[in-house]
């Protein structure tokens, strides 16, 4: 499969073409072995291994194991199994950050010798205090100017174990006034008197991520270090460490948006909590978004690959709809799952005119017409069968095409039957049904002139197998679990698993672990490893009903990027009546929508920004919309509790859009940059030259160029095809790197086209 390109592949393609690193491409996938991999990791694995393959390079598998207290060899083994299962091979290139401890230590001594690192005795709390606030410089540590000798001596004693945990750290000596908080003398080493799963008790100081990661990349001669957006502000430090240590190989970090999926949770901390509190059966519980869980549920590696390809790779933050994943799974299973019959809620049906003791073996193809596969099995038919309780209604509505008194229905692959009698038990509950069958309809054909609208599945009572069927549903009952400060455990779906004892057709006696089936009219099922001879266990991978296709219209295959379902503003929907008093007051006072008021009032960080912006004279409405949509999304995606800028700075953004200086798209870029650097919008616009090209001269030149380059398109326009204007506008905007105001371009274009 060739991957569609994306900004990272484009960048690497250009690097290769330019001969960077002699055209060599080396990526890495660097999990910390503190949990199982999840579908978000699959996105990163597909990206890193996929790029290595595409460019004839290699991808390393590296355990980013620098935290002794959370890591475990069980996780290493699980990670390796999952990466292999996804279809990727690292060959000789398995690495451990813990193998670099000695080299990392030596480079740290080197930094001390160069006067670029020092041992600091501030407590963690004091260090936080000294770091200062965004927009205000921090204070220098009183230990910052220790001599090289003293620092070396102390660092060596740290290593020897002479100090207590938390009593000191090794810090980089950079700049306590840097606008990037990450650069305010970040810690590089901390003391941990803990046993490490690989290095045992050899060390009691451990390097921090920002120090160990970039150097590991350098040691392994990684060319492109791809990570998720939350590391964007750490890039400056990444580059600083590589430069300051003077390691010969310089890798480059590029960030992309992490995958977020609705109706589930994806942080390893939360997944671990589910496992430890036994809210699921383990890391491979089919409700978990882990690779192991998806595998056990019956999701194939091909479906995961297809999903990763459809969601694409970009920088903008969004939540992918779970319905898209389910849709892709269904498409994949449709082609590989033979159709069989199972009755999940059995109710007995006596076919009173069918000869007692007789058994017919009916031929039943495994595949529907639209799957180009052959094969069939025999299903036994007899006088007593089971059908699903839900396929019978005593008083049906008009469009109910299943069983009801006096009505005819087709039994799949068998006969048309008529419901004659309903037998109840002492409580008045349905006990069984009595039907007659029509011998002329063998195989399911209706008699000439008659239309039998409904077809239902069934199994012969005497021949059916008992099976345990585990019906899995989504892990969480809301789109964004844990939103608005709730404990995500409150959002777990209480009905995420129901177990039923089903009756299934006898051909399933040969069902072996790992096989996929479609239970007709029910869903796709997968044989669970708990299956024992004569006691099959099936997991529902996914139901048949496709929520995604309904959502986007069935006609065309869907690209997730084409229809992003953006992270919804926080809380569940509802009208103003359900607002908290604080939200209600906010909505009324500033004429905000209920959703805006709810989101802003639910997070103190947002409320503070709102107030700050108003105090600085900003208009309430645009700020509220910015906060409730974009700011909240950035905060979540970056896992921040608080934005690194104040309300006054945020208040400068909407006027830049209103005046036409920024398009809404550029405004989003500026906002993202504000999150990275904590700078004010105007500074960012100026520095990055981000403002729209509204200078008519520049646009005129660009339009003229595009028209000159595309004589065919111009000819089509002149021949009366006005539709091509859109395409031309697009070309002009692209030639101006997206920085042109479409309205201005349109006007100038029309003028030049005459
Ligand atoms: P978590 O936040 O769930 O603990 P993590 O990022 O800490 O995840 P790591 O083991 O450090 O987990 O992740 C290994 C790699 O996978 C990193 O490069 C990380 O950026 C990437 N990754 C983790 N989660 C996602 C995700 N949801 N989407 C894409 N990539 C991800
Ligand atoms: Mg991590």
pLDDT tens, position by position, 141-195: 999 999 999 999 999 999 999 999 999 999 999 999 999 999 999 999 999 999 9
User: Distance, CA 40 to ligand 1 centroid (Å)?
Assistant: 7
**CA gap 345, 503 in Å, rounded:** 8
Q: How many other C-beta atoms lie within 10 A of the C-beta of residue 182?
A: 18
- 43 ligand 1 Cβ < 6 A: yes
The ligand placed nearest to the CA atom of residue 40 is 1
Confirm whether 154 is a catalytic residue.
no
The 10s digit of each residue's pLDDT in 114-152 is 999 999 999 999 999 999 988 889 999 999 999 999 999
Q: How confident is the model at residue 693 (pLDDT cuts 50, 70, 90)?
A: low
* Mean pLDDT, range 336-353, rounded to an integer: 97
Q: Tell the residue nearest (CA) to atom 27 of ligand 1.
A: 40
As a whole number, the mean pLDDT across the chain is 90
The larger pLDDT score, comparing residue 206 to residue 682, is at 206
403 three-class SS:
strand
- Tell me which of 44-53, 332-341, 599-608 is least confident: 599-608
Alpha-helix residue ranges (DSSP H) falling in 55-189: 73-85, 101-113, 124-131, 148-160
User: Distance, CA 50 to ligand 2 centroid (Å)?
Assistant: 21
Shortest-distance atom of ligand 1 to CA 32: 10
Q: Tell the residue nearest (CA) to atom 15 of ligand 1.
A: 31
CA dist 266 to 149, 260, 491, Å?
A: 46, 7, 14
Query: Measuring CA to CA, which residue among 134, 109, 261, 72 is closest to residue 189?
Result: 109
- 636 ligand 1 Cβ < 6 A: no
Q: 331: part of which helix (H) or strand (E)? A: helix 322-336
Q: Is the pLDDT of residue 299 over 50?
A: yes
Q: 356: part of which helix (H) or strand (E)? A: none
* Mean pLDDT, range 699-708, rounded to an integer: 89
365 three-class SS:
strand
The rounded radius of gyration (Å) of the Cα atoms in the chain is: 32
42 φ/ψ angles, rounded to the nearest 5 degrees = -60, -35
Q: How confident is the model at residue 734 (pLDDT cuts 50, 70, 90)?
A: confident
The catalytic residue among 32, 255, 326, 673 is 32
The ligand placed nearest to the CA atom of residue 269 is 1
**CA gap 675, 308 in Å, rounded:** 27
User: Distance, CA 42 to ligand 2 centroid (Å)?
Assistant: 14
Number of H helices, E strands in the chain: 26, 27
- 313 ligand 1 Cβ < 6 A: no
What's the CATH architecture for 339-544?
Answer: Beta Barrel (2.40)
Confirm whether 315 is a catalytic residue.
no
- 508 ligand 1 Cβ < 6 A: no
Confirm whether 683 is a catalytic residue.
no
587 three-class SS:
helix
Q: Tell the residue nearest (CA) to atom 9 of ligand 1.
A: 31
The catalytic residue among 159, 182, 268, 297 is 268
* Mean pLDDT, range 317-342, rounded to an integer: 93
**What's residue 557's pLDDT?**
35
User: Distance, CA 63 to ligand 2 centroid (Å)?
Assistant: 11
- Tell me which of 107-121, 199-213, 680-694 is least confident: 680-694
434 three-class SS:
strand
Residue 745 near residue 699, CB atoms below 8 Å: yes
The catalytic residue among 28, 131, 184, 258 is 258
Percent of all residues in the chain with a pLDDT value above 90, rounded to a whole number? 70
Q: Tell the residue nearest (CA) to atom 26 of ligand 1.
A: 40
- 61 ligand 1 Cβ < 6 A: no
Domain 696-753 falls under CATH 1.10.10.410: yes
**What's residue 735's pLDDT?**
82
* Mean pLDDT, range 313-333, rounded to an integer: 90
Q: Return left, alpha or beta for 164; rule: phi > 0 is left, psi -120 to 50 is alpha, else beta.
A: beta
Q: Is the pLDDT of residue 380 over 80?
A: yes
- Name the residue of 8, 30, 35, 44 whose CB sits within 8 Å of the most ligand 1 atoms, as the mutation to test its pocket: 44
The 10s digit of each residue's pLDDT in 531-580 is 998 899 999 999 998 665 555 543 333 333 333 333 333 333 344 457 88
User: Distance, CA 31 to ligand 2 centroid (Å)?
Assistant: 7
Tokens for 349?
């049906």
* Mean pLDDT, range 728-742, rounded to an integer: 78
**CA gap 536, 693 in Å, rounded:** 66
Q: Could you give the residue range(s) of every CATH 1.10.10.410 domain in the chain?
A: 696-753
Residue 419 near residue 405, CB atoms below 8 Å: yes
**What's residue 366's pLDDT?**
97
- 28 ligand 1 Cβ < 6 A: no
Q: Could you give the residue range(s) of every CATH 2.40.240.10 domain in the chain?
A: 339-544
Q: Is the pLDDT of residue 318 over 90?
A: no
The larger pLDDT score, comparing residue 431 to residue 685, is at 431
User: Distance, CA 123 to ligand 1 centroid (Å)?
Assistant: 29
- 258 ligand 1 Cβ < 6 A: yes
Q: Tell the residue nearest (CA) to atom 2 of ligand 1.
A: 267
- 70 ligand 1 Cβ < 6 A: no
- Tell me which of 310-319, 370-379, 644-653 is least confident: 310-319
Q: Is the pLDDT of residue 754 over 70?
A: yes
**CA gap 749, 717 in Å, rounded:** 12
Bridge partners, residue 207, by sequence: 189
Q: How confident is the model at residue 677 (pLDDT cuts 50, 70, 90)?
A: confident
Instruction: Encode 237-288 in three state secondary structure.
Output: HHHHHHHHHCCCCCCEEEEECCCEECCCCCCHHHHHHHHHCCCCCCCCCCCC
The 10s digit of each residue's pLDDT in 608-659 is 999 999 998 899 999 999 999 889 888 877 767 788 899 999 999 998 888 7
The 10s digit of each residue's pLDDT in 236-290 is 999 999 999 999 999 999 999 999 999 999 999 999 999 999 999 999 999 999 9
> 664: burial class by Cβ within 10 Å (0-12, 13-18, 19+)?
exposed
Q: How confident is the model at residue 660 (pLDDT cuts 50, 70, 90)?
A: confident
CA dist 244 to 112, 116, 159, 165, Å?
A: 11, 8, 22, 27
- 259 ligand 1 Cβ < 6 A: yes
User: Distance, CA 33 to ligand 1 centroid (Å)?
Assistant: 11
Tokens for 391?
């396929």
Q: Tell the residue nearest (CA) to atom 4 of ligand 1.
A: 268
**What's residue 548's pLDDT?**
56
567 three-class SS:
coil
- 289 ligand 1 Cβ < 6 A: no
Residue 386 near residue 347, CB atoms below 8 Å: yes
Shortest-distance atom of ligand 1 to CA 270: 3
**CA gap 545, 535 in Å, rounded:** 28
Q: Return left, alpha or beta for 544; rule: phi > 0 is left, psi -120 to 50 is alpha, else beta.
A: alpha
- 227 ligand 1 Cβ < 6 A: yes
Q: Tell the residue nearest (CA) to atom 12 of ligand 1.
A: 31
Residue 732 near residue 699, CB atoms below 8 Å: yes
CA dist 558 to 300, 363, 541, 542, Å?
A: 19, 37, 21, 19
**What's residue 293's pLDDT?**
98
Q: 470: part of which helix (H) or strand (E)? A: strand 465-472
């Amino acid at each position: 499969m060739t991957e569609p390109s994306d900004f990272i592949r484009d960048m690497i393609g250009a690097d290769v073409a330019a001969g960077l690193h002699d055209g060599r491409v080396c990526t890495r996938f660097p999990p910390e072995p503190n949990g199982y991999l999840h579908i978000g990791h699959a996105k990163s694995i597909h990206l890193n291994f996929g790029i290595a393959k595409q460019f004839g390079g290699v991808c390393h598998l590296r355990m980013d194991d620098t935290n002794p207290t959370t890591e475990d060899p069980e996780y290493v083994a699980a990670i390796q199994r999952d990466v292999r299962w996804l279809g990727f091979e690292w060959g000789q290139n398995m690495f451990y950050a813990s193998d670099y401890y000695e080299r990392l230590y030596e480079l740290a001594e080197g930094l001390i010798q160069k006067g670029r690192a020092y041992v600091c005795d501030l407590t963690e709390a004091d260090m936080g205090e000294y770091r200062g606030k965004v927009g205000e410089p921090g204070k220098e540590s009183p230990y910052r100017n220790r001599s090289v000798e003293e620092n070396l001596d102390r660092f060596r004693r740290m290593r020897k174990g002479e100090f207590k945990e938390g009593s000191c750290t090794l810090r980089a000596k950079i700049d306590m006034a840097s606008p990037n908080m990450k650069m305010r003398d970040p810690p590089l080493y901390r003391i941990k008197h803990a046993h490490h799963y690989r290095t045992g008790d050899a060390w009691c100081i451990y390097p921090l991520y920002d120090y160990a990661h970039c150097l590991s990349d350098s040691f392994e001669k990684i060319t492109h270090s791809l990570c998720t957006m939350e590391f964007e502000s750490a890039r400056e430090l990444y580059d600083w460490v590589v430069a300051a240590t003077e390691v010969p190989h310089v890798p480059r970090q590029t960030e992309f948006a992490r995958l977020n999926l609705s109706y589930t949770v994806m942080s390893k901390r939360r997944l671990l909590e589910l496992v430890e509190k036994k809210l699921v059966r383990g890391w491979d519980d089919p409700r978990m978004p882990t690779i192991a869980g998806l595998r056990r549920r019956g999701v194939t590696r091909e479906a995961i690959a297809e999903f990763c390809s459809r969601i694409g790779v970009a920088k903008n933050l969004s939540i992918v709809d779970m319905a898209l994943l389910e849709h892709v799974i269904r498409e994949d299973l449709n082609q590989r799952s033979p159709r069989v019959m199972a009755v999940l809620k059995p109710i007995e049906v006596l076919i009173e005119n069918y000869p007692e003791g007789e058994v017919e073996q009916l031929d039943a193809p495994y595949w529907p017409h639209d799957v180009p596969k052959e094969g069939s099995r025999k299903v036994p038919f007899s006088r007593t069968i089971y059908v699903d309780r839900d396929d019978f209604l005593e008083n049906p509505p008009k469009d109910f095409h299943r069983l009801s008194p006096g009505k005819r229905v087709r039994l799949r692959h068998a006969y048309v039957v008529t419901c004659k009698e309903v037998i109840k038990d002492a409580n008045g509950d349905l006990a069984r049904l009595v039907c007659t069958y029509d011998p002329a309809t063998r195989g399911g054909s209706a008699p000439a002139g008659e239309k039998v609208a409904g077809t239902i599945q069934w199994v012969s009572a005497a021949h059916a197998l008992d099976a345990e069927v585990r019906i899995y549903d989504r892990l969480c009952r809301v789109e964004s679990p844990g939103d608005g400060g709730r404990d995500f455990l409150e959002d777990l779906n209480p009905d995420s698993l129901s177990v039923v004892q089903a009756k299934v057709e006898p051909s399933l006696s040969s069902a072996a672990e790992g096989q996929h089936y479609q239970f007709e009219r029910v869903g796709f099922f997968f044989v669970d490893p708990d299956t024992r001879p004569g006691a099959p266990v099936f997991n529902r991978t996914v139901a048949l009903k496709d929520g995604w296709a309904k959502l986007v219209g069935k006609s065309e295959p869907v690209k997730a990027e084409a229809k992003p379902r953006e992270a919804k503003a926080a809380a569940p929907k509802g009208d103003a009546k359900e607002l908290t008093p604080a939200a209600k007051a906010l909505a009324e006072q500033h004429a905000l929508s209920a959703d805006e008021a709810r989101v802003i009032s639910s997070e103190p960080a947002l409320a503070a920004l709102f107030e700050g912006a108003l105090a600085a004279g900003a208009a309430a409405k645009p700020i509220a919309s910015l906060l409730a949509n974009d700011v909240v999304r950035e905060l979540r995606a970056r896992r921040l509790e608080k934005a690194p800028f104040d309300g006054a700075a945020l208040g400068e953004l909407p006027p830049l859009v209103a005046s036409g200086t920024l398009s809404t798209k550029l405004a989003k870029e500026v906002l993202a940059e504000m999150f990275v650097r904590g700078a004010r919008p105007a500074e960012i616009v100026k520095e990055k030259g981000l403002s729209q090209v509204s200078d008519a001269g520049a646009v005129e030149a660009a339009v003229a160029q595009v028209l000159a380059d595309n004589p065919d398109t111009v000819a089509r326009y002149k021949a009366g095809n006005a539709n091509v204007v859109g395409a031309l506008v697009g070309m002009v905007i692209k030639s101006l790197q997206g920085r042109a105001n479409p309205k201005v371009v349109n006007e100038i274009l029309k003028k030049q086209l005459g």
